[in-house]
Amino acid sequence: MALIVQKYGGTSVGDVERVKRVARRVIQARLAGHDLVVVVSAMAGETDRLLALAAQVSDSPDERELDVILATGEQLSIGLLCLAIQQNGQKARSFTGSQVRIQTDTAHTRAKILSIEADRVRQALREGAIAIVAGFQGVTAEDEVTTLGRGGSDLTAVAMAAALKADVCEVYTDVDGVYTADPDVVPEARKLARISYDEMLELASLGAKVLQARAVEYAKNYAVPIHVRSSFNMSQGTLVVQEDAEMEKVVVSGIAYNKNEAKITVLRVADRPGIAARLFGRVAEAAIVVDMIVQNISQDGTTDISFTVPNADYQKTMQIVSEVAKEIGAQQAVGDERIAKVSIVGVGMRTHSGVAARMFEALAREKINIMMISTSEIKVSCVIDAEYAELAVRVLHDAFGLAEGATVEERW
């Protein structure tokens, strides 16, 4: 008998019929003898409905009040799921973030979890009930309602699992696991049985929309095993766990890509201390999140600085950067919205050489030009023309032998 935390997203509880289906699934696990804590999101569309209502009464809604409004979405879900489970004869009890004492800081709409009491959840489990916990929400020390930001329900689930020392945190999604690449792009993509936290983090932030990055980080810190699986079938999904020797044998675990970024380059910037700080300070002031930053050695006392930002922030960033470029006496700022970032990820890179070279070769064979390169310990990312994104993913998937049925020699 295990203690299992299950998390169901908004799509899984999108309407009454789906809530009933989740209830049946939860009961199935209960009847198998497990203790269960179930974390649910708001029904799909509900959060958007609430945000739309808020937008109709306020141009710039106060974040404290926004949290009060948004928290109702999950509160409705836990009540409904609880009723659906009880309807099938099982004991269940719902808990809001406030009732579970998911204590957060005071950063409304993007709060951080500080601690979880969970005494009432333990009590419910002792009494043989299934505990249903509202995802996405918490409460400050002053009893103010907070929310954890979009995707925060994953975080709630992992944090609950850590607090309760659960055996596993099962995250139910509309895909049945983590794949070596997007199966829509690469038909031969293979579902990974296991993946390390670090790899999952790189994949999460690189655009594989399976798990929220903060949740993976939290799981890593508390060594919570996450099982990513489908809410539509019973097949085993992907386990996200601590790295082990076996994993290091696989050099590349997956290929990710992201077409939602734009590239900006400031040409011929004076190569002296403080210039980069000034440039990126001004961008940060506008609350724009910069992803890749690349700067090469200088020639003639000047250098070029390139970086990427979300497409949505492109116009605003160009405006800021053009101003700064003038101020610091750079030649000019140029940008490109039609780019894609393609990345290979794998903990095995730490101990294997020639990985980046193989990536560049594979792209070169297809005459795909590389505009920017950035690497981390377990990742190599290249910025290329957006047009070739899907082709690049397929080529790399093949080059690193990730397909189903590829021999171990072929598989990097």
* Closer of 143 and 409 to its own copies (Cβ): 143
# chain residues binding its own copies, by CB under 8 A: 38
Number of C-beta neighbours around residue 111 at 10 A? 27
Q: Which helix or strand (DSSP H or E) is residue 221 part of?
A: helix 213-221
Contact between 69 and its own copies per CB under 8 A: yes
Contact between 84 and its own copies per CB under 8 A: yes
Contact between 225 and its own copies per CB under 8 A: no
Nearest to 268 by CA among 333, 335, 315: 333
Where are the alpha helices (H) located in 4-114, listed in sequence order?
Answer: 16-31, 46-57, 63-87
Using CB under 8 A, which residues numbered 386 to 405 contact its own copies? none
**Of 1, 31, 33, 57, the one binding its own copies by CB under 8 A:** 57
- Total residue count of the chain as it appears in this document: 412
Query: Among 87-95, 249-257, 282-290, 394-402, which window interacts with its own copies (CB under 8 A)?
Result: 87-95
Amino acid at 64: R
Phi, psi of 375 (to 5 degrees): -130, 150
**Of 5, 19, 247, 362, the one binding its own copies by CB under 8 A:** 19
As measured in angstroms, the least distance from the Cβ of 406 to its own copies is: 46
Using CB under 8 A, which residues numbered 311 to 330 contact its own copies? none
Contact between 79 and its own copies per CB under 8 A: yes
Q: Which helix or strand (DSSP H or E) is residue 171 part of?
A: strand 168-173
> Computed over its alpha carbons, how large is the radius of gyration of the chain?
23
**Of 47, 90, 94, 147, the one binding its own copies by CB under 8 A:** 94
Query: Among 82-90, 158-166, 340-348, 390-398, which window interacts with its own copies (CB under 8 A)?
Result: 82-90
As measured in angstroms, the least distance from the Cβ of 67 to its own copies is: 8
Residue pair 238/204 in contact (Cβ under 8 Å)? The answer is no
Using CB under 8 A, which residues numbered 238 to 297 contact its own copies? none
Contact between 14 and its own copies per CB under 8 A: no
Contact between 98 and its own copies per CB under 8 A: yes
**Of 1, 31, 33, 59, the one binding its own copies by CB under 8 A:** 59
**Of 2, 24, 45, 58, the one binding its own copies by CB under 8 A:** 58
Using CB under 8 A, which residues numbered 107 to 166 contact its own copies? 143-145
As measured in angstroms, the least distance from the Cβ of 121 to its own copies is: 13
As measured in angstroms, the least distance from the Cβ of 400 to its own copies is: 47
Q: Distance (Å, rounded) from C-alpha 213 to C-alpha 182?
A: 18
Contact between 75 and its own copies per CB under 8 A: yes
As measured in angstroms, the least distance from the Cβ of 132 to its own copies is: 9
Please list, in sequence order, all residues whose beta carbon lies within 8 angstroms of the beta carbon of residue 43, skipping any fewer than 6 positions away. Answer: 10, 13, 14, 15, 19, 73, 76, 77
* Alpha-carbon separation of residue 269 from 216, 283, 290 (angstroms): 38, 16, 18
Residue pair 240/228 in contact (Cβ under 8 Å)? The answer is yes
Contact between 51 and its own copies per CB under 8 A: no
**Of 50, 239, 318, 371, the one binding its own copies by CB under 8 A:** 50
Q: What is the dihedral of CA 159, 162, 167, 173, to 10 degrees?
A: 20
Q: Distance (Å, rounded) from C-alpha 171 to C-alpha 169?
A: 6
Contact between 64 and its own copies per CB under 8 A: yes
As measured in angstroms, the least distance from the Cβ of 143 to its own copies is: 6
Where are the alpha helices (H) located in 38-192, listed in sequence order?
Answer: 46-57, 63-87, 119-126, 152-164
Q: What is the DSSP letter of 110?
A: S
Pairing label, strands 254-258, 339-345: antiparallel
Strand order in the sheet with 293-295: 293-295, 302-310, 261-270, 332-336
Binding site for its own copies (CB under 8 A): 16, 19-20, 23, 50, 53-54, 56-59, 61-62, 64-66, 68-69, 71-72, 75-76, 78-80, 82-84, 86-87, 93-94, 96, 98-99, 143-145
